[in-house]
Structure 1
Amino acid sequence: MENKDLISFEEHQVDKPCQLGYMNMEAIVEVDNERPPYSLPPHISQPYPWLVISHGEFDQRQTFFSISQYQYYTKIIPEMRNKQVCCSSFGWLVLLDLVSFDCSLLNLISMETIQLPPFNMKFDTCILTALPSDPNCRILFFNLIEDEFLFCSLDDCEFSKQKLEDDDVISVTTFGGKTYCISSEYCLLTIEFEGSSLRFTKLTVQKTESKLFNFTIQRKNYLVEFFGEMLLVCKIYSPRLCEWASYFEVFRFDFYKREWIEVKSIGNNAIFLTDQCYGSCSSVVEESDIRRNSIYYTQYEDRNLYVYDLEDRSVTTSLPCPIVSRRKSSHYWIMDHLLK
């Protein structure tokens, strides 16, 4: 092994204004005892998602940044080499090989892998609808440009493909054991899997004078489950710098009135968003430096971590891992509060 890899096995404390005090150490589920520690994720549980940065010439390094500790751990996990993290759900990662386009599931606690059918399609969002042990588990990809779904079960030999004929889809998620998508007209639809087909059921949305229906503004939309409620989080882009967020808007879906209602505050909670259009929320623990009523996010080809305050609409910037190259790294939130 070359000396340049030795730094990958160390833990690093990142400079910050004040120390984050919340951390809970627990034992990891036993895996192969012959594996060296640097080839396993950190043996730490925390109340918030981890920011995982894949970097190196072949994405062979994985840096796990803990916002609870404000500390990062760099590992070399063979199962994640040259892989894109498509989504993180139910303790599993959906991984896509960037060369072969092989698709697989990885459990970061047991390190169990499950091979999926080959995949060769550009996509914007991926979701896992249930635990792999559940017979209703489906892996679903969505391509925003082609307005096309690609999906399969663990028993399928190939992915099935289907479009929503009457409208364009802008976001997909799971909520309350069901799968939902939202159209470009902000209508919420349920998605049911019927063999190799999808059945869509539209939930009527009453159009209002809400600024949500200002279609002159460029948005990136995230459907997020928020403690039993469905939120639509809109990242509003700057008109001058179209790839950079200017501010955020948040809406709650009222299932009784079938309409979106603007939310001014998310209270003592924080939302975490990925570039793959999925997100999660967490309650802010007392005596923690996690910002309440805020949205944590990253930008494409940028090393910084951003925090948007919904109350004063300010943005705070920090550098979670200074050793990572700007243009040869990818950022993902591991949403399952890793290794509980």
Structure 2
Amino acid sequence: MASTGGCPTISDIPVEILEQIIKRAAAACRLPGTSQLPQSLPSVAVHRRQIVPRQASRPSSPRGKTGRSARYTHDRLASSSQGWLVTDNLIKPNLISTPLHVNLYNPFFCTNLTLPAIPYSPSFLLSSSLFNKDCVVLAIKRGSSQSGEDHAYAFWRGDVKTWKRFVGPVNKFSLEDMIPYRDGYCGLYGQGSGIMQLSLSSSPEVIKRTRVKVQREDVRKSREKYLVKSSNGDLLMVVLVPSCDDGDGQLASGFEVFRLDWCKREWTVVKSLGNHAIFLARYGSTCVEASGNPAATGCIYLFSDSGLRIYNVESRSFQATKPKKIPNSVCHWFCPDVGCKSR
């Protein structure tokens, strides 16, 4: 086994062994009230202050570059994408008096990378692992129809020093969700009736917009729609649809899953997830095999204000859970990036 200075590092461990270590570690670090999560990835990342220690200088990035950085602390876990945690120094939502400092952190390789400052608070989405030299980081800021504020999209890749704004009609589209898909990005707009595909060329751009049939009114009106890539590469849309009273005097909700038929340009209903489970998050939904935990197969997982919710697609019912809020915390699904680090 290769080593540095006589001591093996995590990047020397074969991927197969590392995956087993991560699975065991994830099982041992469950959150209170999440014992019903499957004992396979993803695990749950929870906001804690100073998740990335204060840095006087930026450590080596995946591309082997070093540099000085300001003495600030990234103490808010903003999101998770492609096995990396995104942290920033935002103190209060919608209140940014100085440019937002953003950091990408890989807890398993103890590697972090400071991105250029950005003048607003967006969501971040990685096209692939940051260890991939062709990785593109997309920043998405949703505008407001009430104020007439346009949406803003910017991208960054390792060979540039600043964020580059998208120009043109893309900023007029209110994307309900977006995910990395087919060597680019795929976004959902128009109440589920439109698919926007972005390329990952030297200057990412919209390459195609596809109109899709949405037959049901309740699907169009739903305010919560998520895109997710299935294990075999299909594009799925998961919709939170309001339902009737559940008989206990409380308003219930259900999920509907649709698969995009690219030839017919329509959404078709998916009645079973098989041995897979879907974990929902804006710009970060994922589909994993859950055969190791039969109770988890065919289920959809979502963190809401009331805690973790688990929905069985085949039985069309929520599983009984004990809602447990986690004060001053934000939960994000986290699938570790166990790819080989460039050295």
Query: 2:110 matched to 1:111?
Result: yes
Kindly provide the CA deviation profile for residues 81-139 of structure 1, in whole angstroms up to 9, marking residues without a partner as x: 612232220x322332324721122122211111111123233x431012324343111
Q: Please give the alpha-carbon distance, in whole angstroms, between the structure 2 residues aligned to 1:42 and 1:268.
A: 18
| TM-aligned CA distance change 1:112 to 1:331, over 3 Å | same
Q: Please give the alpha-carbon distance, in whole angstroms, between the structure 2 residues aligned to 1:122 and 1:238.
A: 34
Query: 2:329 matched to 1:329?
Result: yes
Kindly provide the CA deviation profile for residues 40-84 of structure 1, in whole angstroms up to 9, marking residues without a partner as x: x997266320012224xx3659xxxxxxxxxxxxxxxxx996122
Question: Match of 1:49?
Answer: 42
| TM-aligned CA distance change 1:197 to 1:295, over 3 Å | closer
Matched residue of 2:205: which SS?
strand
Letter in 1 for 2:106: N
| TM-aligned CA distance change 1:337 to 1:152, over 3 Å | closer
Contact 1:219–1:237 (CA under 8 A) maintained in structure 2? no
Contact 1:230–1:252 (CA under 8 A) maintained in structure 2? yes
Q: Please give the alpha-carbon distance, in whole angstroms, between the structure 2 residues aligned to 1:314 and 1:239.
A: 12
Matched residue of 1:164: which SS?
helix
Q: Please give the alpha-carbon distance, in whole angstroms, between the structure 1 residues aligned to 2:73 and 2:309.
A: 25
Give 5+ residue unaligned stretches, structure 1: 1-26, 32-40, 62-78
Contact 2:219–2:241 (CA under 8 A) maintained in structure 1? no
Contact 1:116–1:154 (CA under 8 A) maintained in structure 2? no
Q: Please give the alpha-carbon distance, in whole angstroms, between the structure 2 residues aligned to 1:43 and 1:81.
A: 28
Query: 2:298 matched to 1:293?
Result: yes
CA displacement at 1:171 relative to structure 2: 1.3
Question: Percent same amino acid among aligned pairs?
Answer: 22
Question: Match of 2:134?
Answer: 136
Query: 2:202 matched to 1:175?
Result: no
| TM-aligned CA distance change 1:315 to 1:43, over 3 Å | closer
Give 5+ residue unaligned stretches, structure 2: 1-7, 13-21, 27-38, 53-71, 92-98, 144-149, 246-250
Question: Which of the pair is proportionally richer in strand?
Answer: 1
> Which ranges of 4 or more aligned residues in structure 1 deviate by more than 6 Å?
337-340
CA displacement at 1:278 relative to structure 2: 2.0
| TM-score, normalising length: structure 1 | 0.68
Note the 1:16-165 alignment, pairs <5 A: 29=10, 44=25, 47-55=40-48, 58=49, 82-89=75-82, 91-99=83-91, 101-123=100-122, 125-145=123-143, 146-162=150-166, 164=170
Note the 1:271-286 alignment, pairs <5 A: 271-274=278-281, 276-286=282-292
Question: Match of 1:315?
Answer: 318
CA displacement at 1:270 relative to structure 2: 0.7
Letter in 1 for 2:46: I
Matched residue of 1:98: which SS?
coil
CA displacement at 1:211 relative to structure 2: 1.5
CA displacement at 1:231 relative to structure 2: 0.5
Q: Please give the alpha-carbon distance, in whole angstroms, between the structure 2 residues aligned to 1:319 and 1:59.
A: 29
Matched residue of 2:297: which SS?
coil
Q: How many equivalent pairs are there?
A: 271
Q: Please give the alpha-carbon distance, in whole angstroms, between the structure 2 residues aligned to 1:142 and 1:202.
A: 18
Q: Which of the numbers 231, 240, 250 marks the counterpart of 2:236? A: 231
Letter in 2 for 1:259: E
| TM-aligned CA distance change 1:128 to 1:260, over 3 Å | same
Contact 1:139–1:151 (CA under 8 A) maintained in structure 2? yes
Letter in 1 for 2:310: V
Contact 2:198–2:204 (CA under 8 A) maintained in structure 1? no
Q: Please give the alpha-carbon distance, in whole angstroms, between the structure 2 residues aligned to 1:212 and 1:177.
A: 32
Contact 1:49–1:337 (CA under 8 A) maintained in structure 2? no
Letter in 2 for 1:284: A
CA displacement at 1:188 relative to structure 2: 1.3
